[in-house]
Amino acid sequence: MAVVKVLLLLTRLKLSSFIFFNLNINDKKLEVLELLSQTNDSILINEVYEILHPESTIENINIAALNSDLQQKINNALDDYKSGNYITHEQMKQKVQEWLTK
């Protein structure tokens, strides 16, 4: 799974995987750093961050270690999601756009 994700990230960074896999490690690092510094793709940057820091992703949070009030809020949000009581990101962007044009 991680290899597939890395290949997808390389593609999004506009790196040829053939050329990339034939570079030495220092050249690879320089190429990745240069391309990352030039991108404004926040999703890509977050994905790279999650690969580098897997312990910081939301899936790895121990909910039981949180205070009971926060646990309840998370559980309520999960219940809302499971029951279909949510809106998509696209729907929210549309609502915001409507609010801004009123």
Q: Which residues contact 64 (CB under 8 A, 6 or more apart)?
A: 71
- Residue 25: its pLDDT value, please? 81
CA 13 to CA 8: how far, in whole Å?
9
Boundaries of domain holding 63: 2-100
- Residue 52: its pLDDT value, please? 80
pLDDT: which is higher, 90 or 3: 90
The total domain count for the chain is 1
- The tens digit of pLDDT for each residue in 41-96 reads 888 888 888 778 776 666 667 788 888 998 899 889 889 989 999 898 889 999 99
Q: How confident is the model at residue 1 (pLDDT cuts 50, 70, 90)?
A: very low
CB atoms within 10 A of CB 48: 19
Whether pTM > 0.75 for this model: the answer is: no
Query: Angle formed by the axes of helices 42-52 and 25-38, to 10°?
Result: 140
CA 102 to CA 98: how far, in whole Å?
6
- The tens digit of pLDDT for each residue in 6-27 reads 656 666 666 555 565 677 888 8
Residue 44, helix vs strand vs coil: helix
